[in-house]
Amino acid sequence: MAVKIIRCPSCGEEIEITDLYEGVEIQCSLCNSVMVYQEGKLLLLDTNEEFDLDELESVEEEEEFEDYDEFEEEEEYYYDDEY
């Protein structure tokens, strides 16, 4: 069970965090960046930048589909007399 799903600050890959405690190291499987959880923030070891978990939290947005005319059935009429 995932505690949180975040996006890697380096590459944007989704990372599933299962354990979240002080000093835990989290590594991205795509770019191998390492982050350490300290004082409620994630410290990116490559650049020493700090990120709030809320900033990196992955929010799955529902895709909204608008009514596209191309998906609607249209009747096509062919007239031989026009050519």
Q: How far apart are CA 40 and CA 4, in angstroms?
A: 13
Q: What's the confidence (pLDDT) of residue 40? A: 87
47-72 per-position pLDDT tens digit = 999 999 888 887 654 344 455 555 55
9-25 per-position pLDDT tens digit = 999 999 999 888 999 99
Enter the DSSP assignment of 57: B
Model confidence, pTM = 0.63
Fold of domain 4-56 = Rubrerythrin, domain 2 (2.20.28)
